[in-house]
């Protein structure tokens, strides 16, 4: 008995010590600590810096309903790849791929469409890119031509995954510059950069930087003529990280997907507008023949032949359950309502911000529930602040609204972006707009330029642009 008491007291003492001490950064601690203390140390360090719902920077789902959350929590220990233990998860995953392929108008008639699950769009993009690379290599080899200089063509507003893909697989990334006059991918300019070594062109549906969609139908048309003329077979991979779950519901008549001749693969993020907690991505090929054999292995012990493709082996299954739950729970109409609501809130904010004389919207109309704006150039000449100052002020009210510079060629432009997700209501939009107005009013009354403004002037001065106060 005595011994028991002593050890309890000791444990308490060592716990107090361990919570007072700083958390280990280099070496594994020698002794265990109580779960309560370890929990507290870890939990305290992951305390969110912003309210997830006020974080308008991220595209990633921060809200799912109670049942979805319960379902996913209950599956926290399920490994997707362990098909002998959880054979139905692979089937459910195959059903999700089928549903998504059909949302994107696949012509494939097979019972199981060719596709793969990934941790996010990044893995999905990688798989789409690798498939394009391997197809191109096979074709070149068959023609007895060298395959040491592959390239990929897309707009300079690519998401960082494409830079990673190109670096890791030694593919040259050819970037079509954007301008204020041409705010998305110009098909003619893209084709001018193509040659026999182009593995694919990657238009984006829901450009991360701007919220715009590249004109994929126009690209497909021009590319068809180009491929006919040259004898090449350059295909399209659509990076539809956001748009993949917006277009089928809000613009079903728009042709951007497998209805187009050269669109051979499409990727999306299940954890963006697929409305599932992170991390989940999907990639689908138009037909099995576009998915190189080397990338897939088949299992047939599920009563059906299921093709599996992926960079990862083990991965959590919970997100797949979450995606399938959403499909069941929401159906087409449910998704449509949610995406429409996000779109309405985004359009409302876009309109209100467009009315403020100090701002200019980057684009007139919205295609996805996100948009960017910049400072009115006339106003900017005499302004004493920048959008970075506005970002900092909004942060004081809990909002995360990022300001950033645009990609190559329009990198003089500082913009601000709002991404509307399903948990952003009209009331919250009004709160945000009121906070923006208040912040701007304060900034307008500044007597002296902010440090951010001074830094910006210095930079602009070096480029020959003149500001006055
Ligand atoms: C977010 C995004 C990605 C990367 O997606 P993850 O799901 O975060 O891996 C790729 N492309 C575009 C256009 C994106 O917006």
Q: Is 266 in the pocket of ligand 1 (CB under 6 A)?
A: no
Strands of 72-130, DSSP E: 115-118
Quickly list DSSP for 305-321: -EEE--S-SS-BSHHHH
Residue nearest to atom 14 of ligand 1 (CA): 241
Residues 372 and 315 in one domain: no
- The residues, ordered by sequence, that sit 6+ positions from 326 with a Cβ below 8 Å of its Cβ are 64, 68, 274, 275, 276, 335
Residue 414 in any domain: the answer is yes
Residues 241 and 366 in one domain: no
CA of 167 to the centre of ligand 1 (A): 17
Q: Is 184 in the pocket of ligand 1 (CB under 6 A)?
A: no
Residue 422's pLDDT is 95
Residue 23 in any domain: the answer is no
Residues 309 and 345 in one domain: no
Residue 41 in any domain: the answer is no
Domain span at residue 296 reads 70-327
State how far the Cα of 236 lies from the Cα of 327, in Å rounded to an integer: 27
Residues 99 and 167 in one domain: yes
Residues 340 and 439 in one domain: yes
List, for residues 332-347, the tens digit of each pLDDT value: 999 999 999 999 999 9
Which of 327, 349, 384 corresponds to the end of one domain?
327
State how far the Cα of 74 lies from the Cα of 130, in Å rounded to an integer: 34
Looking up residue 453, the CATH number of its domain turns out to be 3.90.1150.160
Residues 267 and 361 in one domain: no
Residue 230's pLDDT is 97
Q: Is 124 in the pocket of ligand 1 (CB under 6 A)?
A: no
Residues 283 and 337 in one domain: no
User: Considering its fold, how many domains does the chain have in total?
Assistant: 2
Adjacent-strand bridge partners of 263: 236
Residue 268 in any domain: the answer is yes
Residues 212 and 299 in one domain: yes
Residue 7 in any domain: the answer is no
- The residues, ordered by sequence, that sit 6+ positions from 42 with a Cβ below 8 Å of its Cβ are none
List, for residues 430-464, the tens digit of each pLDDT value: 999 999 999 999 999 999 999 999 998 888 777 76
Residues 264 and 317 in one domain: yes
Residue 14's pLDDT is 53
Residues 315 and 390 in one domain: no
Residue 137 in any domain: the answer is yes
Residue 366 in any domain: the answer is yes
Q: Is 133 in the pocket of ligand 1 (CB under 6 A)?
A: no
Which of 273, 292, 327 corresponds to the end of one domain?
327
Residues 128 and 245 in one domain: yes
**Residue 279: cis peptide before it, omega within 30 degrees of 0:** yes
Residues 246 and 341 in one domain: no
Strands of 156-276, DSSP E: 172-176, 198-201, 236-239, 263-269
Residue 23's pLDDT is 81
Looking up residue 125, the CATH number of its domain turns out to be 3.40.640.10
CA of 122 to the centre of ligand 1 (A): 6
Which of 312, 327, 342 corresponds to the end of one domain?
327
State the 10-residue block means of pLDDT for the chain, 469 residues long.
46 54 86 93 82 92 96 94 81 96 97 95 98 98 96 97 98 95 95 98 97 98 98 98 98 98 98 98 97 82 68 92 98 98 98 97 94 96 96 96 93 95 96 98 95 89 63
């Amino acid at each position: 008995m005595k011994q028991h008491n002593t050890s309890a007291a000791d444990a308490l003492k060592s716990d107090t010590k361990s919570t007072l001490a700083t958390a280990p950064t280099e070496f594994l601690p020698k002794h265990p600590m109580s779960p309560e203390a370890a929990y507290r140390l870890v939990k305290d360090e992951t305390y969110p810096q912003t309210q997830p719902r006020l974080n308008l920077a991220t595209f990633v789902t921060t809200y799912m309903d109670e049942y979805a959350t319960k379902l996913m929590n209950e599956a926290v220990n399920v490994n997707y790849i362990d098909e002998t233990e959880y054979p139905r998860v692979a089937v459910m995953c195959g059903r999700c791929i089928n549903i998504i392929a059909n949302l994107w108008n696949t012509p494939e008639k097979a019972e199981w469409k060719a596709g793969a699950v990934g941790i996010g769009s990044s893995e999905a993009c990688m798989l789409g890119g690798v498939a394009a690379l391997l197809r191109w290599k096979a074709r070149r080899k068959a023609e007895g031509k060298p395959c040491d200089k592959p390239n990929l063509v897309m707009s300079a507003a690519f998401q960082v995954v494409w830079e990673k893909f190109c670096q890791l697989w030694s593919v040259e990334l050819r970037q079509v510059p954007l301008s204020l006059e041409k705010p998305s991918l110009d098909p003619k300019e893209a084709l001018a950069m193509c040659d026999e070594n182009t593995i694919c062109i990657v238009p984006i549906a829901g450009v991360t930087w701007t919220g715009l969609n590249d004109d994929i139908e126009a690209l497909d048309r021009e590319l068809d003529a180009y491929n006919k003329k040259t004898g090449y077979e350059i295909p399209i991979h659509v990076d539809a990280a956001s748009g993949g779950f917006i277009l089928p519901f809000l613009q079903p008549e728009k042709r951007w997907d497998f209805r187009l001749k050269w669109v051979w693969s499409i990727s999306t993020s299940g954890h963006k507008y697929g409305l599932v907690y992170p991390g989940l991505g999907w990639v689908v090929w138009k037909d099995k023949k576009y998915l190189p054999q080397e990338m897939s292995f088949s299992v047939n012990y599920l009563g059906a032949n299921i093709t599996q493709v992926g960079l990862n082996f083990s991965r959590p299954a919970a997100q797949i359950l979450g995606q399938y739950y959403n499909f069941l729970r929401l159906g087409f109409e449910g998704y449509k309502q949610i995406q429409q609501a996000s779109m309405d809130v985004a359009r409302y904010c876009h309109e209100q911000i467009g009315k403020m004389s100090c701002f200019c919207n980057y684009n007139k109309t919205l295609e996805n529930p996100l948009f960017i704006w910049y400072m009115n150039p006339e106003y900017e000449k005499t302004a004493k602040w920048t959008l970075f100052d506005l970002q900092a002020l909004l942060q004081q009210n809990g909002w995360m609204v990022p300001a950033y510079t645009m990609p190559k060629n329009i990198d003089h432009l500082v913009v601000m972006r709002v991404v509307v997700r399903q948990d952003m209501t009209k009331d919250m939009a009004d709160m945000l707009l009121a906070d923006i107005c208040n912040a701007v009013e304060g900034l307008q009354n500044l007597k002296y330029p902010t440090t951010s403004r001074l830094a910006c002037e210095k930079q602009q001065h070096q480029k020959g642009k003149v500001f006055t106060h």
